[in-house]
Amino acid sequence: MMQDKVFNKPIEKKFEFDEAVASVFDDMLSRSVPFYDEVRKLVISLILSEQEEGLKVLDLGSSTAKFLLDLHSKMDVKMQLKGLDNSQAMLDRAEQKCQAFGANIELELADMLTYDYNQEDIIVANYTLQFIRPMQRVDLVKRLYDGLNDEGVFIFSEKVVFEDKKLDKELIDIYYEYKKEQGYSEYEIAQKREALENVLIPFTIKENIQMCKDAGFKQVETVFQWANFVTFVVKK
């Protein structure tokens, strides 16, 4: 796995999921998102507890297909796994990996805002919604509600902000210390923060829950939280 060195040089543009990011994305996730690997395993376990022949699992922002490949390797029955991403660079990496592992995973270059969701059983979004403009995010979650089966489940993880501004700043400082422990320099951390400015726009936990309730979802639970990283399980 190539190591993430994307931000060890001056940034020249806003953050985007291009080839430079795609080539190191798995390492970037593991080192940038606290407990990312454990959360991935948790979400996979939740899906496996529901697994049945033909169950449709759709991953939004599937990137290099790491999540879907891990799920594929652990499923006991043949589920229909599909990933959507709007980055061709990510999908190229994902295709290579799926071929290497002989995994039957459908991958599609698509805009999740306009995709035709149809009778989905489980939809997953791992730190994906936060990159969508707030008003479009609200509309998307309504589309996901409409596109899920009656017993459908939406599982998503997000970076969040806190209403208590002092606590929010303290947790951001703690997170930066975490990143330094993962081997990122002060310079890389500052560069990434600048690149993500106005690209990654987090909601509070309450706002995420309200967004799901407004879309029609009946149950919204948090199943994991470390500081400002939270995983939600949402049911119709």
Return the bridge partners of 224, or none: 231
Task: Give the span between the Cα atoms of 229 and 143, in whole angstroms.
Answer: 24
Cα separation values, 146 from 27, 142, 212, Å: 34, 6, 12
Residues 6+ apart with CB under 8 A from 133: 201
pLDDT at 180: 83
Condensed to tens digits (0 to 9), the pLDDT of residues 182-225 reads 776 665 666 666 655 566 789 999 999 999 999 999 999 999 99
Q: Which residues of the chain have pLDDT under 50?
A: 1-24
pLDDT at 155: 98
Report which of 234, 144, 235, 160 is spatially closest to residue 201, judged by C-alpha positions. 160
Task: Report yes or no on whether pTM surpasses 0.75.
Answer: yes
* Domains identified in the chain and CATH numbers: 19-235 (3.40.50.150)
| Residue 144, amino acid | L
Q: Which helix (H) or strand (E) holds 159?
A: strand 148-159
Measured in whole angstroms, the distance separating CA 87 from the mean position of its chain's CA atoms is 14
Q: Is 90 helix (H, G, I), strand (E, B) or coil?
A: helix
pLDDT at 186: 66
Six-digit token pair at 155? 């599982």
Task: Give the span between the Cα atoms of 229 and 13, in whole angstroms.
Answer: 26
